[in-house]
Amino acid sequence: MVGIGFRKDFAAALLESPFFHPAFIEVAPENWIGVGGYWKKLFRQALEQYPLFTHGLSLSVGSPDELDLVFLGKVKDFLRETNAQIYSEHLSYSKCDNAHLYDLLPIPFTQEAVKHVSRRIRQVQDFLERRIAIEIVSYYTPVAPEMTEIAFINAVLQEADCDLLLDVNNVYVNGFNHQYNAKAFIDQLPMERVRYIHMAGHEKVAEDLIIDTHGEAIIDPVYDLFAYTVQRLDRDVPVLLERDFNIPELEALQQEIDRLQAIKNLHLKNHQYATA
């Protein structure tokens, strides 16, 4: 199944479109908690038509600050009320020194951070009484690293015992920005933990830097990396198309969804044939 990020920009069009058929929608709970009126009406209609996956923005699992349990309580209620299938968050921090920054900052790849972040992920899972999927984020500079990115991620996943949200575009972006081989990176990830996949477009802002904008179509090399990932996974994992800015006609989004689904079908069918 391939879903779409539910954006206010096309919420009304999505509900009425005769040809646009994502398998599910994804929202950030932050954008919908405590919301009523016009948006709540649309959101309720969307929930009648589509299963919901969720992707948080401001829990800040990587933050030095204490977890915001009041907020997490609201997330828990939201997940229950909307019957959300997945709750995912970012392996990053967006709050520091008691101030929200509303964006995803890179955690230093240190042993201290591994301990801290994995303890917090466990705390979140206990509080929510469910497993969560943690996403590898794009980053534009390392910060005081003591270990490699892959060692950091794998240590966190293992110590936290959580699921992985594999954003294939982020791995591509990071491979480019930090000069490593994206396929080799994926080879080293614990595929059995992958619960959810993200796919998106990005923007190259300099010869040596890509920014993860979610504002462009997915490029071919990222489709290739996706095909590689699907083969490695060898099972059906939900995929999300993320498009947050510069949103095209729904036809164009449907084409991207179709292409992602076709890649999945091809490799998963091959698998069934091979094992039959």
Partner 1 sequence: MQPPEATTTTGYQSALAAYCRSGRYTAIPGVHKGHVTHYRRLVYNVVDDMLQSAYPLTYHLLTAKEWKQMVQDFFSSHACQSPQVWYMPRELHEYLVKTQHPLLEKYPFLSELLWLEWLEVELFMMEDKPAAFTAFGDIQADAFVLNPEHHLQHFHYPVHLKQAKQISAEDKGDYFLVLFRKPDNGEVAFMQLSPVLVTLLELLEERPQAMHPLVEQACATWQLPLNDAIREAAGAFFAQALENRLILGYDTKSHIL
Buried b (16+ CB within 10 A) or exposed e, 100-123: eeeebbbbebeeebbebbbebbee
Structure-block tokens of residue 242? 């993320």
Least distance from C-beta 16 to Fe ion, angstroms? 27
Least distance from C-beta 67 to partner 1, angstroms? 11
Q: Which is nearer to Fe ion, 202 or 267 (CB)?
A: 202
DSSP-assigned beta bridge partners for residue 239:
2, 197
CA dihedral of residues 202, 206, 209, 215 (deg, nearest 10) = -10
Buried b (16+ CB within 10 A) or exposed e, 189-214: bebebbbbbbbbbbeeeeeeebebbb
Per partner kind, with CB cut-offs from 5 to 8 A, the member of partner 1, Fe ion, none near residue 167 is Fe ion
Per partner kind, with CB cut-offs from 5 to 8 A, the member of partner 1, Fe ion, none near residue 145 is partner 1
Q: Which is nearer to partner 1, 55 or 193 (CB)?
A: 55
Q: Which is nearer to Fe ion, 167 or 256 (CB)?
A: 167
Which DSSP helix (H) or strand (E) runs through 200? strand 194-200
Least distance from C-beta 65 to partner 1, angstroms? 9
Integer distance in angstroms from the first to the last C-alpha of the chain?
A: 22
Structure-block tokens of residue 243? 């498009």
The SS3 of residue 199 is strand
Least distance from C-beta 27 to partner 1, angstroms? 13
Interface residues with partner 1 (CB under 8 A)? 30-31, 33-41, 57-59, 62-64, 68, 71, 93, 95-103, 105-108, 110, 112-113, 116, 140-145, 177, 205, 209, 211
| Strand pairing report for 203-206 and 209-211 | antiparallel
CA dihedral of residues 138, 144, 148, 152 (deg, nearest 10) = -70
Least distance from C-beta 66 to partner 1, angstroms? 12
Q: Which is nearer to partner 1, 107 or 121 (CB)?
A: 107
Least distance from C-beta 236 to Fe ion, angstroms? 19
Cβ-in-10-Å burial (0-12, 13-18, 19+) of 19 comes to exposed
Beta-carbon contacts of residue 248 (< 8 Å; ≥ 6 apart): 217
Q: Which is nearer to partner 1, 203 or 234 (CB)?
A: 203
Q: Which is nearer to partner 1, 177 or 229 (CB)?
A: 177
Q: Which is nearer to partner 1, 23 or 67 (CB)?
A: 67
Least distance from C-beta 33 to partner 1, angstroms? 7
Interface residues with Fe ion (CB under 5 A)? 167, 198
